[in-house]
Amino acid sequence: MLAFNEPPDTSGKLGRGMEQFHHPRPVRVGGRGSSRPTEQRDRLLSGLAGSVLEIGAGDGVKLTCYPREVEEITLVEPDPFLRAAARLAAASVATGVQILNGDLTRLPVPDGSCDAVVCSLILCCAPRLETTLAEVRRVLRPDGELRFYEHQPSPKPIAVLAERVASPLWSRVCGGCHLARDTVAAIERTGFTIERLDRFPLHRMSHALGTARPA
């Protein structure tokens, strides 16, 4: 349970933001006068247009990173504190934004209504990952795309064994995050074709950033 009474006032002076509350990595870098999206967020959103759904609001600063070709952004976030923070940030962007209450097993948007779905450091927390990915497929248009940025198991056998051992405790203290979850494999298992995939280390963990479409 979050121990805050009021959301932070981000309407007048947006800071670096965070990808997700349980993974508070910044979405922007630089000073207030020269702030820009991080390399990962820029690559995640580059080329998007039309109607986009992002799962997990962070503190809402990520809304300022979307390209101007995006006409509508929908954020789905179950936590009322984070929804309130995101609404304050939404006042700073020109793009139309709707912020909805919903969980990872049932996205509150119509079938085939999204040009893209963005998942950033959130699929690791899905209690039923295949169900969440099936929901992503449901809301995407036939030619829509899933943009994902997720941590992955280590490619080193000893390290991945340690991740699996630590995962139950890690999940309890890190918002349900499954440390050793192979999200890329799950995306492929649930009927997506991966069109682009970049793997890289960050914060001593393996990560994957890519694009997938319904097969």
Q: What is the pLDDT tens value at each position of the chain, 215 positions in all?
A: 333 444 443 434 568 999 998 888 999 998 777 789 999 999 999 999 999 999 999 999 999 999 999 999 999 999 999 999 999 999 989 999 999 999 899 999 999 999 999 999 999 999 999 999 999 999 999 999 999 999 999 888 787 777 787 777 667 777 789 888 999 999 999 999 999 999 999 988 899 999 999 99
Do the domain assignments include residue 16?
no
Q: How many domains are there within the chain?
A: 1
Q: Is residue 98 part of a domain?
A: yes
Q: Would you say residue 167 lies in a domain?
A: no
Threshold 0.85, pTM exceeds: yes
HEC-encoded secondary structure of the chain = CCCCCCCCCCCCCCCCCCCCCCCCCCCEECCCCCCEECHHHHHHHCCCCEEEEEECCCCCHHHHHCCCCEEEEEEECCCHHHHHHHHHHHCCCCCEEEEECCECCECCCCCCCEEEEEEECCHHHCCCHHHHHHHHHHHEEEEEEEEEEEEECCCCHHHHHHHHHHHHHHHHHCCCCCCCCCHHHHHHHCCEEEEEEEEEEECCEEEEEEEEEEC
* CATH number of 138's domain: 3.40.50.150
Within a domain: residue 159?
A: no
42 in any annotated domain: yes
Domain that holds residue 94: 28-152+180-214
Domain membership flag for residue 96: yes
Task: Judge whether 197 lies within some domain.
Answer: yes
